[in-house]
């Protein structure tokens, strides 16, 4: 049936965060490679900052630019979450919500076969239903995180969640019937509880997600059965609709993008090339996380205390938060603090790198395990705590010990975790398990098959509905 199925026209509409837009763009490329047309919708400035469409796919992929409506509380040119402090993000959600008329108009004119959308546009399911366009909710969050939200109709939308205080989130939910230690720590549960509370956008995050999941036809998850089959099945049970893993979207070839990247890489690779194989700790926390002064200080002094070589890609956007006095001088020759953009994939691919100290964003986890590096886990927000539990449970890495109440960690706990994973005999299990998982994460054929099955489902479903 798939061989004679027609080429699909698919619209993709991610939330305005690069941690969402990049996986959507990666999935778009993989669908286009199978001969289907993709219209990728975002705002003008985000489109400028996204990767370029590969020339081989330019006839099948295009960007559709929708102007973000003005919002009084948003700075000029703020079109993504990384343009804003966290307390301003609800205003970005208001502006995003105000895209609904221009999006509805575009959908009416373009009549796509499918729309693939994100967790925030709770207003979109009625529009797609009215226009007769089948829809996919593509979750960049894994099934274990989705399951924590509970059933969409009762727990997420109607406020009938039996969990009423942060402590209730420190154990697996009652609807999880299999054995697992994946749960929030108390300090994480307090933050997660905030998603149930009203914000300045006028709609809670949990209602947004629940309404999207209740209104879509299919749920797609950035995951695979080899990692979390029980959780994937549970999402289907909780929401009563097809759940399709689309694979891990492992990184594509890390070739250079421009001359500036090449000169940056030349400097970094020269430093890495002087270090012994598998000894360097790569440290990076994504582009949006701002550490507090105490968090930054303890992390820096922990790196120093470990005595190990490190490359720290530090992108703290708050200029009032500074490194400890004399730190860079004391670690000179052993450690580098790199404060501009760094080519993460190229660094991870270098043979001198031995472990990744990460905030546990799933893209970073995927990239690290793609190269078989063990993880030193230091989660900070949203789903990162659950991701840390999963990979600690799989023995692919170790979490830095923290205070249960407030999440504080010390230089000693940082240094101990680093030394364990990199040099100590006790840490061999993490090095071996990460290498084992690396085989799965780097299996391009396996992950391509997941995309293939996903597209085949979309084709078959569309054909049935057209008959």
Give residue-wise pLDDT tens across range 249-281. Answer: 988 754 444 545 678 899 999 999 999 999 999
Q: Give Cα 399 to chain centroid, integer Å.
A: 19
If one compares 351 and 163, the residue with the highest pLDDT of the two is 351
Q: Are residues 78 and 142 in the same domain?
A: yes
Confirm whether 3 is domain-assigned.
no
How many structural domains compose the chain? 2
Whether 77 contacts 83, CB under 8 Å? yes
Q: Are residues 53 and 167 in the same domain?
A: yes
Confirm whether 265 is domain-assigned.
yes
pLDDT tier, 1 (very low <50, low <70, confident <90, very high otherwise): very low
What pLDDT sits at residue 171?
93
CA–CA dist 16, 35 (Å, integer): 27
Phi, psi of 412 (to 5 degrees): -65, -45
Whether 103 contacts 124, CB under 8 Å? yes
Give residue-wise pLDDT tens across range 31-44. Answer: 999 999 999 999 99
Q: Average pLDDT in the 93-99 region?
A: 97
Write the CATH number for 223: 3.40.50.2000
pLDDT tier, 67 (very low <50, low <70, confident <90, very high otherwise): very high
What pLDDT sits at residue 2?
39
Q: Are residues 112 and 28 in the same domain?
A: yes
Give residue-wise pLDDT tens across range 414-466. Answer: 999 999 999 999 999 999 999 999 999 999 999 999 999 999 999 998 655 56
Confirm whether 1 is domain-assigned.
no
Q: Are residues 198 and 343 in the same domain?
A: no
Highest mean pLDDT among 217-221, 283-287, 379-383: 217-221
Q: Are residues 370 and 437 in the same domain?
A: yes
Could you tell me which of 372, 384, 342, 361 has the C-alpha nearest to residue 443?
A: 372
Q: Are residues 98 and 191 in the same domain?
A: yes
Q: Are residues 314 and 453 in the same domain?
A: no
Q: Are residues 306 and 434 in the same domain?
A: yes
CA–CA dist 308, 335 (Å, integer): 8
Per-residue three-class SS string for 321-370: CCCCCCHHHHCCCCEEEECCCCCHHHHHHCCCEEEEEECCCHHHHHHHHH
What pLDDT sits at residue 413?
98
Q: How far is CA 4 from CA 1, 141, 218, 336, in A?
A: 6, 33, 23, 55
Give residue-wise pLDDT tens across range 188-214. Answer: 998 877 777 888 889 988 899 999 999
Q: Are residues 229 and 149 in the same domain?
A: yes
What pLDDT sits at residue 253?
56
Q: Are residues 276 and 302 in the same domain?
A: yes
Q: What is the mean pLDDT of the chain?
A: 92
CA–CA dist 249, 93 (Å, integer): 27
CB atoms within 10 A of CB 178: 9
Whether 298 contacts 306, CB under 8 Å? no
CA–CA dist 337, 281 (Å, integer): 12
Residue ranges making up the domain that contains 160: 9-250+443-466
Could you tell me which of 9, 229, 6, 211 has the C-alpha nearest to residue 109?
A: 9
Confirm whether 4 is domain-assigned.
no
């Amino acid at each position: 049936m798939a061989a004679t199925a027609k080429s699909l026209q698919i619209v993709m509409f991610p939330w305005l965060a690069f941690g969402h837009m990049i996986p959507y763009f990666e999935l778009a490329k993989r669908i286009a490679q199978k001969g289907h047309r993709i219209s990728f919708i975002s705002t003008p400035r985000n489109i400028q900052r996204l990767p370029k469409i590969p020339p081989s796919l330019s006839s099948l992929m295009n960007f559709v630019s929708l102007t973000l409506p003005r919002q009084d509380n948003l700075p000029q040119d703020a079109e993504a979450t990384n343009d804003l402090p966290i307390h301003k993000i609800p205003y970005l959600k208001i502006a995003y919500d105000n895209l609904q008329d221009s999006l509805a108009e575009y959908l009416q004119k373009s009549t796509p076969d499918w729309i693939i959308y994100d967790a925030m546009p709770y207003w979109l399911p009625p529009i797609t239903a009215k226009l007769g366009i089948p829809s996919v909710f593509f979750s960049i969050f894994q099934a274990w995180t989705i399951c924590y939200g509970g059933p969409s109709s009762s727990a997420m939308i109607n406020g009938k969640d039996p969990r009423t205080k942060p402590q209730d989130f420190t154990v697996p939910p009652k609807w999880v019937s299999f054995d697992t230690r994946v749960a929030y720590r108390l300090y994480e549960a307090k933050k997660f509880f905030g998603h149930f509370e009203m914000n300045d956008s006028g709609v809670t995050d949990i209602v947004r997600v629940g309404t999207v999941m209740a209104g879509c036809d299919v749920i797609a998850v950035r995951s695979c059965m080899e990692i979390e089959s029980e959780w994937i099945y549970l999402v289907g049970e909780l929401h009563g609709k097809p759940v399709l893993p689309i694979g891990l979207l492992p990184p594509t070839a890390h070739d250079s993008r421009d001359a500036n990247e090449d000169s940056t890489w030349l400097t970094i690779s020269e430093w890495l090339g002087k270090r012994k194989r598998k000894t360097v700790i790569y440290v990076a926390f994504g582009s949006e996380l701002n550490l507090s002064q105490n968090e930054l200080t303890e992390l820096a002094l922990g790196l120093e205390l470990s005595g190990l070589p490190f490359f720290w890609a530090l992108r703290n956007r708050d200029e009032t938060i500074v490194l400890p006095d004399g730190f860079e001088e004391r670690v000179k020759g052993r450690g580098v603090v790199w404060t501009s953009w760094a080519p993460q994939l190229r660094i991870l691919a270098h043979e001198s790198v031995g472990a990744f100290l990460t905030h546990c964003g799933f893209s970073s986890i995927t990239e690290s395990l793609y190269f078989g590096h063990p993880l030193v886990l230091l989660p900070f927000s949203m789903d990162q705590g659950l991701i840390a539990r999963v990979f600690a449970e799989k023995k692919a890495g170790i979490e830095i010990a923290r205070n249960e109440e407030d999440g504080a960690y010390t230089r000693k706990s940082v240094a101990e975790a680093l030394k364990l994973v990199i040099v100590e005999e006790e840490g061999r299990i993490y090095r071996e398990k990460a290498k084992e998982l690396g085989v799965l994460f780097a299996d391009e054929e396996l992950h391509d098959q997941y995309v293939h099955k996903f597209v085949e489902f979309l084709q078959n479903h569309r054909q049935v509905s057209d008959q």
